[in-house]
Amino acid sequence: MNARTLPLLATMVIFLAAYAVCYVQFPAMLSTRVIGNLLTDNAFLGIVAVGMTFVILSGGIDLSVGSVIAFSGVFIAVLLRDTGLHPLVVFAMLLVLTTLFGAAMGAIIHHLEMPPFIVTLAGMFLARGMAYVLSIDSVPITHAFYDQLQGLYYVMPGKGRLTLIGAIMLAVFVAGMLVAHRTRFGTNVYALGGGVQTARLMGVPVQRTTIRIYALSGFLAGLSGIVFSIYTSAGYSLATVGVELDAIAAVVIGGTLLTGGSGFVAGTLIGVLIMGLIQTYIIFDGTLSSWWTKIVIGILLFAFIVLQKGLVWLTSQRGLAMRGGPGGTR
Amino acid sequence: MPENRPLLHATAVTKTFPGTVALDGVDFTLHSGEVHALLGENGAGKSTLIKCLTGAYRRDGGEILLDGRPIDPRDTLEAQTLGIGTVYQEVNLLPNLSVAENLCLGHQPTRFGMISSRAMSRSARQTLAQYGLEIDVTRNLDTYSVAVQQVVAIARAVSLSGKVLILDEPTASLDALEVRMLFDVVRALKERGLGIVFISHFLDQVFEISDRITVLRNGKLVGTQAIAEIDRTRLVNLMLGRELEQETRESGRTDRPEGEAMIRFRDFGRGGRIAPFDLDIHAGEVVGVAGLLGSGRTETAETLFGVTPHDSGAASDAGKPLHLGSPRDAIAGGFGFCPEDRKSDGIIGDLSVRENIVLALQARRGWTKPVPAREQAAMADEFIRRLDIRTPDAEKPVGLLSGGNQQKVMLARWLATNPRFLILDEPTRGIDVGAHAEIIRLIEELCARGMALLVISSELDELVAYSHRVIVVRDRHHVAELVGAEITTNNMVAAIAADREAAL
């Protein structure tokens, strides 16, 4: 068995165990209604977490996504309120905008050799500021097309609803898995995470890959913003504060190494579901404060970072043992 | 060996860096089907030549012909597509990708835009089978030993380039069995008609695998010879050099101080780095250390100074035991150490001349007792004057000075602590001739004032010039000690080159 898949397996085990605990206390948790809601409620987080997975796999970070989601919501709401454009046109405009925004951040990171943390932090403030410029208040979205979209769902056996946005999230995950594991771009992302210098020596187009990674993250943040606006029927510049951190948490809980180069898109889905499950449990319980979500996620995150450190340590120990003998290198 | 047109023909390759000429009109030819060893000490220009060939550096002058056509690779990728592949000591592959991905990165077989992992694994297995390697190519590269990774790196380089393969110290971290395996691969590639450049400082391996040898020294070509026409002594002579431009004396200094040793080391050693040795240090004496790169010279110095604390033996100071568990202990005992690699181990480039000089003294006093600003300035000015450090003022960042002046700043740092025993590892490496002479003069001056010095150097003439005693290091053992009139370059070369069996 590969040591790299261990965090993924650990995540799956934790998810199944957590679900089992929930089921024992509240048998209703296993119904497709709960599952449907789990997907719907976490759709926007899941979509943005796929983008975050690529960024983190490459050894970077994208702190701007929460603000981009909020900006997207406001952008859509304001445009639908003030112009006669069809929502689909607005969606297309928005996706082009957020993709370019991400690409610009990627270009700055690559060409100015700046840490992604700083560049995307600036992007975070910029996007949030732009949202404020468009509107300070919460702008409701009242468009017939939105009602249509919200009415789209597939009734699963057991009366659970797989909504459009839940389905979009699942589709994004499937696409993400294919891109990560079955395309050259995906391999290049892992290569960057393994070491930029080495990747460059091996012929990985570092510039193109870096820009595409952040463009992808920007695109998915835009898509997540669309989904969030469908979910809430409003655009609000103060919404989704800190969602970038939730996404990072989901990625790490999903077994992706925060230093890059190792992890799975599928793990992120489970990471998102674990976070959603904790929330669902708290709702079912009814007496617990919702802050318990944060506490449990904090504990989980810490546990995963320790697990990853341990794995890294174990592999390096094995590497030394395999090399064998003392014989200093000079 | 086919003597017609050479596969790779470089003439008068020149590369200068600010302050130094790294390569000075070097010629190099490589035929297909030959293993050509490139030898020289650190700073001789080996890696600069390689980097010029592979496009990592742009050369300043000279011509490189590959298959008779002039080439000028802008980067390593272009060199690779032209046919020149390189494998480095530290494997330059991605440990987090699978073996197959590492082999195929950039040219993965695709179907309908998707990578076909089955086809990729198949082609990776076929490639590796040519090297006698049957492993699970879907596993991550870092699950395999360095030797296997090395072979994968070679396989990738050969499959992408296919004409010239440059092996830069590929055996440095391999054990004997793995070296055997690697050499089998190299021989097979030689049979296939590749031209192979082999860089190593293990002379045994050079004699085992090479057809011809080219030796560089101080950026200049010393000579190219067929392996059959050269013996070890001659080779060491070529590498270390006999004829220094300036006037030197014939043998070492005989005015050796009499009396009790100041510091005694008994059975002092560190497992895996340097075998236990005895060493007496007298005040006012210069002890030279001669040996090839990787022989245990630097290891001796680092063990004495506590960088890698000794695990056998003991040190005593005038009969009293001396604890040397760390550099702090050594500094407290009045030791000073200027390491070989100034940039990574010694000088802090962003700090000013003054701050660099004060550093060791401050460390010795402890952080609670800062050196007053006025005292710092006075001290910096004094050393700038005394050592003739060429800097506009004491506040200039050291990184902007030339190599020789950086070396002087580092010396000044230790002199400020007024040490009894100063260890210098290659103090004249990579500095110009003028600064070279000044450093030698300084060594003699310090010695005359009663300081004990241990100086490691590849320049044998230099050792002859200032040493009272010379210790010869080989294969991590102190193998000989030459005193006074015995110190000649001939004797040192003989001791360095002596076969292992002969020495036992």
**Option in B93, B106, B143 nearest A198 (CB):** B93
Best of A183, A200, A201 to substitute, by most chain B Cβ atoms within 10 angstroms, is A201
Mean pLDDT of chain A: 89
Residue B261: pLDDT band (50, 70, 90) is confident
Q: Which of A110, A68, A94, A89 is nearest to A199 (CA)?
A: A110
Residue B492: pLDDT band (50, 70, 90) is confident
**CA angle, residues A154, A155, A156, in degrees to nearest 5:** 110
Residue B19: pLDDT band (50, 70, 90) is low
- Please say which residue of B230, B253, B277 terminates a domain: B230
**B108–A184 C-beta distance less than 8 A:** yes
- Please say which residue of B418, B453, B471 terminates a domain: B418
Separation CA A307–CA A17 (nearest Å): 18
Domains of chain A: 3-317 (1.10.3470)
DSSP for residue B352: B
Best of A2, A4, A184, A262 to substitute, by most chain B Cβ atoms within 10 angstroms, is A184
| Start-to-end C-alpha separation, chain A | 34
Please state the rounded mean pLDDT for residues A131-143: 93
Residue A325: pLDDT band (50, 70, 90) is very low
DSSP for residue B397: B
- If one counts the domains in chain B, the total is 3
What percent of the residues of chain A are helix, what percent strand, and what percent coil, each to the nearest 5?
A: 75, 5, 20
* A271-275, B362-366, B500-504: segment of lowest average pLDDT: B500-504
Cβ atoms of B269 and B308 closer than 8 Å: no
**A330–B172 C-beta distance less than 8 A:** yes
Residue position matching structure tokens 């009969």: B319
Pair (B323, B385) in one structural domain? no
The phi-psi region of residue B30 (left if phi > 0; otherwise alpha if psi is between -120 and 50; otherwise beta) is beta
Residue A2: pLDDT band (50, 70, 90) is low
pLDDT of residue B270: 87
Cβ atoms of B452 and B421 closer than 8 Å: yes
Domain assignment of residue B401, yes or no:
yes
Q: At B247, give phi and psi (nearest 5°).
A: -65, 125
Here the tokens at position B209 are 């695998």
A259 touches chain B (CB under 8 A): no
**B108–A187 C-beta distance less than 8 A:** yes
Structure confidence by residue, pLDDT tens digits, B332-378: 888 888 887 766 667 787 888 888 888 878 877 777 788 888 888 88
Domain assignment of residue B255, yes or no:
no
Interface size A-B, in CB pairs within 8 Å, comes to 83
Structure confidence by residue, pLDDT tens digits, B154-198: 999 888 888 899 998 887 777 778 888 889 999 999 999 999 999
H or E element in which residue B290 lies? strand B286-290
Tell me the DSSP string of B62-83: EEEEETTEE---SSHHHHHHHT
Structure confidence by residue, pLDDT tens digits, A235-270: 999 999 999 999 999 999 898 988 888 899 999 999
Nearest residue in A to B78, CA atom: A203
Buried b vs exposed e over A201-230: b needs ≥16 C-beta within 10 Å?
bbbbbbeebbbbbbbbbbbbbbbbbbbbbb
Residue A326: pLDDT band (50, 70, 90) is very low
Domain assignment of residue B106, yes or no:
no
Best of B41, B90, B97 to substitute, by most chain A Cβ atoms within 10 angstroms, is B97
Partners of residue B135 in chain A, C-beta under 8 Å = none
A58 touches chain B (CB under 8 A): no
pLDDT of residue B503: 41
Best of A202, A257, A312 to substitute, by most chain B Cβ atoms within 10 angstroms, is A202
**Option in A182, A322, A329 nearest B172 (CB):** A329
Pair (B387, B463) in one structural domain? no
Pair (B441, B409) in one structural domain? no
Please state the rounded mean pLDDT for residues B259-263: 81
Domain encompassing residue B389: 347-418
Pair (B15, B152) in one structural domain? yes
Nearest residue in B to A205, CA atom: B106
Task: Please report the beta strands in chain A, taking only residues with DSSP state E, as ranges in sequence order.
Answer: 139-140, 153-155, 161-163, 234-235
Pair (B409, B455) in one structural domain? no
**Option in B97, B139, B293 nearest A2 (CB):** B139
**B114–A178 C-beta distance less than 8 A:** yes
Amino acid at A123: G
Pair (B325, B431) in one structural domain? yes
* A146-150, B62-66, B229-233: segment of lowest average pLDDT: B229-233
Separation CA A176–CA A165 (nearest Å): 16
Q: Which of A165-169, A296-300, B72-76 has the highest mean pLDDT?
A: A165-169
* CATH, residue B272: 3.40.50.300
DSSP for residue B343: I
Nearest residue in A to B172, CA atom: A329
**pLDDT over threshold 60, residue A27:** yes
A328 touches chain B (CB under 8 A): yes
ipTM over 0.90: no
Nearest residue in B to A179, CA atom: B114
**A191–B115 C-beta distance less than 8 A:** no
Structure confidence by residue, pLDDT tens digits, B392-425: 788 888 877 777 788 888 888 888 888 889 999 8
Pair (B409, B424) in one structural domain? no
Strand partners, B38: B199, B214
Nearest residue in B to A206, CA atom: B106
**Option in A186, A198, A330 nearest B94 (CB):** A198
Between the CA of residue B389 and those of B37, B185, B338, B354, what are the distances in Å? Answer: 39, 51, 16, 12
Strands B286-290 and A139-140: unpaired
| Start-to-end C-alpha separation, chain B | 37
Domain assignment of residue B126, yes or no:
no
**pLDDT over threshold 80, residue A56:** yes
Structure confidence by residue, pLDDT tens digits, B304-336: 998 888 888 888 888 888 888 888 888 888 888
Mean pLDDT of chain B: 84
Pair (B407, B426) in one structural domain? no
Q: How far is C-alpha A74 from the geometric centre of its chain's CA atoms? A: 20
Domain assignment of residue B130, yes or no:
no
Amino acid at B113: G
Please state the rounded mean pLDDT for residues A188-193: 95
Pair (B411, B426) in one structural domain? no
**pLDDT over threshold 70, residue A289:** yes
Give me the helix-helix angle, A184-194 and A43-57, nearest 10°: 60
pLDDT of residue B390: 77
Three-state DSSP at B126 gives: helix
pLDDT of residue A314: 72
Structure confidence by residue, pLDDT tens digits, B377-393: 888 888 888 888 877 78
pLDDT of residue B348: 80
Share of chain B above pLDDT 90, in %: 17
Domain assignment of residue B109, yes or no:
no
Pair (B466, B408) in one structural domain? no
Side-chain-facing half-sphere of B245: CA atoms under 13 Å: 6
Pair (B380, B304) in one structural domain? no
**Option in A3, A187, A325 nearest B175 (CB):** A325
Residues 6+ apart with CB under 8 A from B385: none
Residues 6+ apart with CB under 8 A from A96: none
CB interface of A with B, residues 192-251, below 8 Å: 193-195, 198-199, 201-204
Residue B502: pLDDT band (50, 70, 90) is very low
Pair (B407, B435) in one structural domain? no
**A183–B299 C-beta distance less than 8 A:** no
